[in-house]
């Protein structure tokens, strides 16, 4: 295979990868395939999996340029427990991962910085997909900024929210309680939040049956 050249750079991944990795090591099952939704550049995938031995990492993104970038970052590490990126849009009623054979079953889903940078329907689809795909005790891990009880947790988040809505009125920082309610309606129980740098949260759910 020739080296893919379309590598994207997301500077925030270099700042948030260590704190996120610490939470992932603590909450993800030790074995299985970790499905990453909205992998973007692919920098997280190539970094995290080295520290999560025993797992496979399945990156995905609906954007073809992002999938090329994921492959380009993979080229740098050439780890055989990162699987080729899939075209997954959470809004689709079935996801491509449901029709392919994986080296190990999916035991967790990781979704970083998608919920506020996409319409609410993407989060609805994410929860419905997690309900279909995760086994009992499977983990759904979310990362990003959230409002608590409808209130922004920092002035910088409030400004960010305004910028997001200017870009697209269907985007915006979500209410944590709305995300929890949606998860619960799909059989995912809320486990905990972990405060992260720059006023972000890790939010962890577990599939009940």
Ligand X SMILES: C[S@@+](CC[C@H](N)C(=O)[O-])C[C@H]1O[C@@H](n2cnc3c(N)ncnc32)[C@H](O)[C@@H]1O
Contact positions vs ligand X (CB under 6 A): 10, 13, 37-41, 61-63, 66, 88-91, 112-114, 117-118, 122
What single string gives the DSSP state of each residue in 76-90? Answer: HH--TTBPPPB---T
Q: Nearer to ligand X by C-beta: 33 or 200? A: 200
Smallest separation, CB 94 to ligand X (Å): 13
Smallest separation, CB 205 to ligand X (Å): 17
Smallest separation, CB 110 to ligand X (Å): 9
Q: Nearer to ligand X by C-beta: 142 or 150? A: 142
The answer to whether 58 and 97 have CB atoms below 8 angstroms apart is: yes
CA distances (Å), 155 to each of 11, 113, 114, in order? 22, 19, 21
Q: Which residue has the tokens 């993407």?
A: 122
Q: What's the start-to-end Cα distance of the chain, in Å?
A: 41
Indicate if the alpha-carbon torsion angle 202, 159, 178, 91 is positive or negative. Answer: negative
CB-nearest residue to ligand X: 40
Q: Nearer to ligand X by C-beta: 92 or 137? A: 92
Smallest separation, CB 69 to ligand X (Å): 9
């Amino acid at each position: 295979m020739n080296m893919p050249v379309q590598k994207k750079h997301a500077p925030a991944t270099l700042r948030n990868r260590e704190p996120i990795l610490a939470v992932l090591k603590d909450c993800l099952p030790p074995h299985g395939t970790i499905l990453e939704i909205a992998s973007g550049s692919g920098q997280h995938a190539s970094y995290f999996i080295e520290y999560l031995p025993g797992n496979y990492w399945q990156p995905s993104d609906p954007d073809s340029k992002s999938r090329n970038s994921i492959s380009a970052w993979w080229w740098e590490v050439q780890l055989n427990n990162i699987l080729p990126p899939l075209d997954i849009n959470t809004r689709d009623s079935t996801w491509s991962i449901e029709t392919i054979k994986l080296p190990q079953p999916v035991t967790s889903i990781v979704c970083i910085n998608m919920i506020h940078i996409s319409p609410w329907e993407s989060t609805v689809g994410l929860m419905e997909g997690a309900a279909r795909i995760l086994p009992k005790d499977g983990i759904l891990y979310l990362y990003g900024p959230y409002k608590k009880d409808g209130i922004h947790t920092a002035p910088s988040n409030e400004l960010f929210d305004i910028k997001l809505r200017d870009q697209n009125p269907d985007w915006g920082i979500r209410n944590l309680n709305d995300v929890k309610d949606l998860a619960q309606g799909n059989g995912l129980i809320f486990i905990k939040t972990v405060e992260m740098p720059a006023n972000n949260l890790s939010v962890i759910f577990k599939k009940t049956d």
